[in-house]
């Protein structure tokens, strides 16, 4: 069966711009990591229940792929989708670490939605898929669009392609499982300082290379200090010149040519 690549991403910068209900609104530059990806494929199976094959620590109903299936089924009512998932499982060769700020779960969900759309000829546009994906997770729309680099804002639903050269990243993920809700809670309690529209516009126009050269990890990512406060061991793994992705725990830097 055809293999589909679900790429990782890094957050070149991540700044909070405000609150919407219980959600934090952000502005962030997402950049695809071409050297790090999971591989997904449909594989025939005997049992009728929904199956995901791969190295996952969560229950099937907690998996983003299952949530994507459920959201797609709700949105389309497709009988062919149900038929496909009765006869086939989703095989996932995991390379992107979980709880790492690299978007692995979101990328898997987005890739699954695109696989179903292609295989079943559902005829959904990328915008349709992004709307369905947003029900699964805030980062899913970025992966649906497949951009190499994009400015992502709102709670993740506004994805604007950013035209720039691709960067080759070195990624290091310490063995620390970070809870994104916990990091945001600490940010809200102890560090809340949303940036204004002027700074937002300036960041949106800067190249990723420029941002990584001119800003430290804590300047570029509002979640770095809250993550350090919540997970004391994280400090042992931080090295000067590296940046912090999402709510962590991954660090990254541009590979030296």
**Active site members:** 9, 139
Residues 6+ apart with CB under 8 A from 126: 144, 145, 146
Contact by Cβ (8 Å): 72, 81: yes
The CA-atom distances, in angstroms, between 162 and each of 52, 57, 166, 204 are 34, 34, 11, 8
Q: Rounded to an integer, what distance in angstroms lies between the CA atom of residue 133 and that of residue 110?
A: 6
Q: Rounded to an integer, what distance in angstroms lies between the CA atom of residue 20 and that of residue 47?
A: 43
Instruction: Tell whether the torsion through CA atoms of 239, 242, 245 and 250 is positive or negative.
Output: negative
The CA-atom distances, in angstroms, between 42 and each of 12, 30, 107, 126 are 33, 28, 16, 21
- Distance from the first to the final alpha carbon of the chain: 36
Contact by Cβ (8 Å): 90, 45: no
């Amino acid at each position: 069966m055809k293999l589909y690549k679900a790429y990782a991403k890094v957050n070149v910068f991540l700044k909070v711009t405000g609150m919407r209900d219980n959600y934090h609104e952000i502005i962030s530059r997402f950049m695809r990591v071409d050297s790090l990806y999971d591989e997904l494929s449909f594989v025939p199976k005997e049992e009728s229940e929904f199956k995901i094959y791969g190295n996952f620590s969560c229950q099937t109903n907690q998996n983003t792929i299952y949530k994507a299936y459920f959201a797609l089924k709700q949105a389309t009512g497709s009988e062919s989708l149900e038929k496909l998932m009765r006869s086939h499982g989703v095989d996932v060769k995991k390379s992107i670490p979980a709880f790492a700020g690299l978007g692995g779960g979101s990328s898997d969900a987005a890739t699954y939605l695109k696989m179903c759309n292609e295989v079943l000829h559902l005829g959904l546009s990328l915008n349709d898929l992004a709307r369905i994906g947003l029900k699964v997770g805030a980062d899913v729309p970025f992966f649906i669009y497949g951009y190499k680099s994009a400015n992502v804002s709102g709670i993740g639903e506004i994805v604007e392609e950013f035209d720039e050269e691709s960067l080759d990243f070195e990624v290091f993920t310490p063995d620390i499982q970070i809870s994104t809700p916990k990091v945001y809670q600490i940010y809200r309690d102890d560090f809340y300082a949303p940036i204004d529209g002027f700074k937002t516009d300036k960041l949106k126009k800067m190249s990723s290379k420029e941002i990584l050269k001119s800003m430290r990890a804590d300047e570029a990512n509002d979640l770095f200090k809250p993550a350090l406060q919540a997970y004391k061991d994280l400090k042992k793994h931080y090295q000067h010149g590296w940046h912090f992705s999402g709510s962590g725990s991954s660090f990254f830097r541009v590979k030296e040519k």
